[in-house]
Structure 1
Amino acid sequence: MYDLVVRGGRVALDDIWAECDIGITDGRIAATGSGLQGAKTIDARGRWVMPGGIDAHCHLDQPVWGGAGNADDFESGSVSAAFGGTTCIVPFGMPGPGMTTIGAMDRAMARAAGRSVVDYSLHGVVTAGTGADVDGQLQQLAGRGIASVKLFMTYDGFAVDDDLFLTVLDAARGLGWVVMVHAENDAAIRRTRQKLIDLGRTEMRYHAVAHSEIMEREATHRALALAEMTGTRMTIVHVSSIQSAEEVARARLRGVEVAAETCPQYVFLGASDLDRPPRDAARFVFSPPPRSPRSQHHLWQALANGGIDLWSSDHSPYFFADKLGKSDTPAFNTTLSGIPGIETRLPLLFSEGLLAGHLTLARYLDLTSRNAAAIYGLDHRKGRIAVGLDADLVLWDPARTWELGHAVLHSRVDFTPYEGRRIVGKPVTVLVRGVPVVTDNVLSTGAGHGQFVARRPSDPKLARVPVEDTTPWLDA
């Protein structure tokens, strides 16, 4: 007798569908099969039972930068995630002014504790201002179950130079960590932004010029060259364009261990969305910006063929008034960059990727849960429907047609860039470790159900050889 049985659903077991029951005991999947008996039962007939999604790139309850704080804390953001079919999130221990990497993690841990309704971990962040002794700080975080760190190549107060970049890569390689990189050329962005301002070209559409594909391509190439030199695993986050995607593909041919991530905004929104009246266009300002139809098409292909590994939200929750700032006429250089997406991430891909036939079941599962679990050290607990793993399950109604809009979403953000978009397929019941947190579209648990999940690094002995250990004089 199991604690709970999810009965009669169409279950996504790795790369195949199976009509079976799922037996759950002590929060973990104990069996799959037919005729299972449980103290409690959830009727999943007519539902598709999928692994809970893992969103490994989202921002919640961060310190104030640029005069605006996040609209979502760990409670509201995790509730929104749950209603979107996500059962585990990995936001950032983002530093505020004057904070060390350790101090930022302490702050994030305290803010998350007792608030999240889904399970969570955190990424470390190193910036030019997060203190000396990078090795020591990352060692401390490793002892607390952290297995990744993020670096920015742009943004005032965040961008790291190549010396610090290499220091972090060396430390991460020794720990078996993966390094996440926001790859845009800061000097080129600052140069181009100022030239546009001097020319009076401040309409919102010029955001796509100030952050052009060239700047993303150059930074992606440089980041991957440094990863190749050090033998460190890397994720290029929010790949937005064909140019940066091609840099990832070329690096893989050289043997670089790199994962590529993209986000819904880069396949469902385009640069033409910025060519609207200012207040309307502001809903589409994020960095890197939306790109051309050619890049959108390439990213869809990469999602289907494995060129892209991760589908994340980059949920950046700001109230619309904060996003617009105090300018009388919103402009690209005064509008805060970032959009919400933690709840719409999976429904968009379920509808337009899986149901529309652009993605196989295997690729959908890779993108939404399985790869994130493997890359970020969660696969001992999360990412699949398999005996021994956490019972993080989502029951989808594959026939439900509904309209995305602020009124039906659960983030505190007061807009969505997908307002009015009709999609098919909706997560209706969501379990985290065998406990329903959403039941038939109603929140059924309170803040604090979510637990911190310690992640496992890779074995440093399996890392690529750094350049200093190569022997080119012996090459054939």
Structure 2
Amino acid sequence: MHELVIRGGRVALDDGWAEFDIGIADGRIAAIGKGLSGAKSIDAGGRWVMPGGIDAHCHLDQPVWGGAGNADDFYSGTISAAFGGTTCIVPFGMPGQDMTTIGAIDRALERAAGRAVIDYGLHAVVTMGTGADVEAQLDALAGRGIASVKLFMTYQGFAVDDDLFFKVLDMASRLGWIVMVHAENDAAIRRTRQRLIDLGRTDIRYHLVAHSETMEREATHRALTFAEMTGARMTIVHVSSWQSAEEVARAKTRGVAAIAETCPQYLFVSAADLDRPAVDAARFVFSPPPRSPRSHEHLWQELIDGGIDLWSSDHSPYYFADKIDRSDTPGFTTTLSGIPGIETRLPLLFSEGLVTGRLALERYLDLTSRNAASIYGFADRKGSIAVGLDADLALWDPTVRWTLGHKALHSRVDFTPYEGRGVTGKPTTVLVRGVPVVADGELRAKPGFGQFVARTAADPTLSGKPVEDWTPWLDA
């Protein structure tokens, strides 16, 4: 007899849908089959039993940046994630001023302990302020369950120069880590931003010009070329446009270990949303910015065909007053970049991808849980419904129609860019390691129930060849 049985649901297994029960013991899936018995049971009749979602790109409780701190800490942020069907997140150990990469991880771990209600890992972040011993820091973190690092190509205080970029790529290749890159050309952004200011063009709509698709395309190409030179694995985060998506596709054809991530805002928010009255338009300011219908269509096709590997929120939670610097006429130079999305990430794709049939079940599972677990090093624990894995499950009502709005959500952020959008399908019960965190729409977990998940790096011998090991004369 199992400790708990999920009965009568339509279960999303790796090889397709099945009408099975799920037996749970010691926090893990112990059996999948018919007629299972348990000391306790949950009736999943009429529900779709999905793997708990994994959001591998989100921001919580970071040091103050741009004059504002995050609205969500690890308590409110993970509650919001759970109500959206997500059972594990991998946010960033984001450094503050003069903070090392290890110091930032230590800070994030301290902030998460005793607060998170779902499980979490952490990505490291390297900046120019990390310190001269960056390689020793990354090596030390590898022994602490960290298996990924993020680099920024823009943002004052975060952007790295090419020398540090290569140093991190070389180290990541040796460790078997994956490098996440925010790819926008910083010099181009600074140049264009100043020219717009000089011309008096500071309305929010000009955020699109200051962060044009060409700037993202160039940086994406350059970052992936660096990956090709070093043999490192690389995720281009928040791919926003058809141009950068094509750069990732081209790199893959050259054998680069390139991974593409996109986010809901690049499918459901339009460039035209920035051409609204200032205070309204501020709800749609994030970087890279929303793009054209052509990019929407291209990214949807990439989601369908497999060219996009990850579906993440890039949840960046600011109170609206902080976001607009308490201005009645915010402009693109003063409005903080970032929007909430940790709770709406899965409902949007479930509704417009899975329920509509636009996405096959296999693609939906890859995008929302399986690929994140595999890419970031914890597929031995999470990401699928399979015997031996953590019993991270979300029971979805596929028929309920509801309206997204900040009052219906659980983040402390007081706005959402999806206000008023109707969606079909909602998670009603969510379990982490077999324990209901949300049950019938009610929060059940205590602060601190969530655990840190140590991740495993890939085998370094599987990294690509660095340029110094190429032998082009053999092809002559």
Q: What TM-score, normalized by structure 1, do the two folds share?
A: 0.99
The Cα offsets for residues 133-191 of structure 1, whole Å up to 9 and x where unpaired, read as 11100011101000000000000000001100000000000000000000000000000
Aligned equivalents of 1:367, 1:15: Cα separation in 2: 15
Task: Give yes or no for contact 1:402–1:422 (8 Å, CA) kept in 2.
Answer: yes
Letter of the 2:137 counterpart: Q
Aligned equivalents of 1:15, 1:178: Cα separation in 2: 27
Deviation for aligned residue 1:357: 1.6
Letter of the 2:216 counterpart: E
- After the TM superposition, list the runs of 4 or more consecutive aligned residues in structure 1 that deviate by more than 4 angstroms: none
Deviation for aligned residue 1:28: 0.2
Secondary structure (helix, strand or coil) at the match of 1:57 reads strand
Is 1:190–2:162 an aligned residue pair?
no
Aligned equivalents of 1:203, 1:181: Cα separation in 2: 28
Letter of the 1:248 counterpart: V
Secondary structure (helix, strand or coil) at the match of 2:62 reads coil
Is 1:463–2:475 an aligned residue pair?
no
Aligned equivalents of 1:469, 1:445: Cα separation in 2: 52
Aligned equivalents of 2:463, 2:184: Cα separation in 1: 26
Secondary structure (helix, strand or coil) at the match of 1:67 reads coil
| 1:67 matched residue in structure 2 | 67
Letter of the 1:371 counterpart: N
Secondary structure (helix, strand or coil) at the match of 1:62 reads coil
| 2:202 matched residue in structure 1 | 202
Deviation for aligned residue 1:326: 4.2
Return 5+ residue gaps in structure 1 as ranges: none
1:1-400 aligned within 5 A: 1-400=1-400
| 1:473 matched residue in structure 2 | 473
Task: Give yes or no for contact 2:117–2:446 (8 Å, CA) kept in 1.
Answer: yes
Deviation for aligned residue 1:221: 0.3
Secondary structure (helix, strand or coil) at the match of 1:56 reads strand
Deviation for aligned residue 1:256: 0.1
Return 5+ residue gaps in structure 2 as ranges: none
Identity of aligned residues (%): 78
Aligned equivalents of 1:359, 1:464: Cα separation in 2: 32
Secondary structure (helix, strand or coil) at the match of 2:208 reads helix
Aligned equivalents of 1:172, 1:257: Cα separation in 2: 13
The root-mean-square deviation of aligned C-alpha atoms, in Å, is 0.6
Aligned equivalents of 1:401, 1:139: Cα separation in 2: 48
Letter of the 2:373 counterpart: A
Deviation for aligned residue 1:327: 3.9
Aligned equivalents of 1:43, 1:201: Cα separation in 2: 58
Letter of the 1:269 counterpart: V
The Cα offsets for residues 399-421 of structure 1, whole Å up to 9 and x where unpaired, read as 00000001110000000000000
The Cα offsets for residues 239-262 of structure 1, whole Å up to 9 and x where unpaired, read as 000000000000001000011000
| 1:452 matched residue in structure 2 | 452
Deviation for aligned residue 1:470: 1.0
Is 1:426–2:421 an aligned residue pair?
no
Aligned equivalents of 1:420, 1:69: Cα separation in 2: 27
The Cα offsets for residues 297-341 of structure 1, whole Å up to 9 and x where unpaired, read as 000000000010000000000000000014442101110000000
Task: Give yes or no for contact 2:382–2:392 (8 Å, CA) kept in 1.
Answer: yes
Letter of the 1:388 counterpart: G
Secondary structure (helix, strand or coil) at the match of 2:429 reads strand
Aligned equivalents of 2:298, 2:446: Cα separation in 1: 41
Deviation for aligned residue 1:50: 0.2
Deviation for aligned residue 1:363: 0.2
Secondary structure (helix, strand or coil) at the match of 2:289 reads coil
Task: Give yes or no for contact 1:120–1:451 (8 Å, CA) kept in 2.
Answer: yes
Secondary structure (helix, strand or coil) at the match of 1:226 reads helix
Letter of the 1:120 counterpart: Y
Letter of the 2:189 counterpart: I
Task: Give yes or no for contact 1:15–1:361 (8 Å, CA) kept in 2.
Answer: no
Letter of the 2:43 counterpart: D
Aligned equivalents of 2:162, 2:364: Cα separation in 1: 36
Secondary structure (helix, strand or coil) at the match of 1:245 reads helix
Letter of the 2:177 counterpart: W
The Cα offsets for residues 44-82 of structure 1, whole Å up to 9 and x where unpaired, read as 000000000000000000000111000000000000000
Aligned equivalents of 2:55, 2:219: Cα separation in 1: 24
Secondary structure (helix, strand or coil) at the match of 1:196 reads helix
Task: Give yes or no for contact 1:79–1:117 (8 Å, CA) kept in 2.
Answer: yes
Letter of the 2:126 counterpart: V
Letter of the 1:344 counterpart: T
Secondary structure (helix, strand or coil) at the match of 1:55 reads strand
The Cα offsets for residues 255-287 of structure 1, whole Å up to 9 and x where unpaired, read as 000110000000000100000000000000000
| 1:404 matched residue in structure 2 | 404
Secondary structure (helix, strand or coil) at the match of 2:91 reads coil
Q: What TM-score, normalized by structure 2, do the two folds share?
A: 0.99
Aligned equivalents of 2:377, 2:400: Cα separation in 1: 34
Deviation for aligned residue 1:15: 3.4
Deviation for aligned residue 1:368: 0.1
